[in-house]
Structure 1
């Protein structure tokens, strides 16, 4: 029986050509694969009233191939209901999740809040000695900007990815958003050098800079449908998923940025369109595109 797909891509040939820059994202899985093969991601955030942010990131991670995903909420107890449509995602509170020793990569900040508890969660994370990739987004970036001791911890950690939008970038640099936007490449490079981190400066033509400040990628995928609440959380989940799968940081960060935008282009080309595109629709579209590209690049599996 043939099943019709809800997706199409009018620009698949161009997407296939662009995807060649990120070969590690499009490797067929071996017959011997199991859930442990593809890593375990922990996504921490989701303070009271902001549970949706961590849910969006965790769902994006599981849709994009991570073997296991934990969602850790910065709350005293788990909110209810929690991800009833995605029981594959494991649930915890943030402090309990940070005690685990089996995490391959971390995402922290989506809906984390700026309270004392949030700062304590950030400090704990920065002091963990596991050395695994750590992506900081959203409220975690604002906490870095407000608390110099946390910023110093982050700069010394290594294996760090920061994903600011222009206002968050301005806070990290102690400047105005307009100044960031006036020279985005310079701003991204400064953040990378200051924190010894990969920097993803979001916006139209998102920029990715290496820890030494060199420009790695100017993204050309995506469309205005991404201008919706939760889009950045989905991006964090996609990049975190790729990192947990053992993909090299440069490939995971640059390729994740591209795949996030390319998924929005798939939705634009399908029945969804740009207007009213929901952030939660991006993850399954990214899964579809990643699988189609893998099949095209490796037709014999």
Structure 2
């Protein structure tokens, strides 16, 4: 479903039967707590056998039945939005140099390396994609979480999403300051037109209070880090009241204690299971295949 759609869907009808296929491209419906599925978020796409942030990784995620892909974007010297995580080309491509200091054609000539890249990685036949190319590849098939690497590029990212008419299936995340008297993002011209996911650290003993504080943001989903998993459980009532789905990263670099992918491969119930039991409804992982296998084993083929 693209952003051009004006269809209004009644939630009672929508969730009266198993998740309908078109919801795979509707962020708000997918994120709703009325949807009982635990969402699989593929970090930088499904890249294990492709290349991170590549068109191939999008296609692989779609084929695997992943709910959402996370991608990274930033602008080149001449203002083209490309999809790449690092500030430089060095790790993931055959090129070198800082993306923001290179013209698009130079960035484009760099070929992606397989997997997470590095000196010994094999080469693909794919160049660094543009944000537009990734969104078109995903259109109507899978939701997309956009991580804008530099705040300076956020207005251009939002303009691109709106121009393509694909806002319904895009979730854009930004950090927020819980102590701010006013959330500046409320004043952005795109706010309310593109689903937005606030990111913040759970403050011990204050999770429910902070959730109430962010109510004006009307967030369909929030991404948080925590120091005590018990704090997540204190937010259940407020998450339910605001219809917010809770997203946690189990990436090895996410630093949510030892709730990480490496440990999950050995003890999935102690990591992914504990998070789900604490009320988490979306998990971003680099171990998509293992996570999907665990989900199917616990909840059945629908991930419920």
What TM-score results when the alignment is normalised by the length of structure 2? Answer: 0.43
- The structure with the greater share of residues assigned to helix is 1
Tell which has more relative contact order, 1 or 2 (C-alpha 8 A, sep 6+): 1
- The structure with the greater share of residues assigned to strand is 2
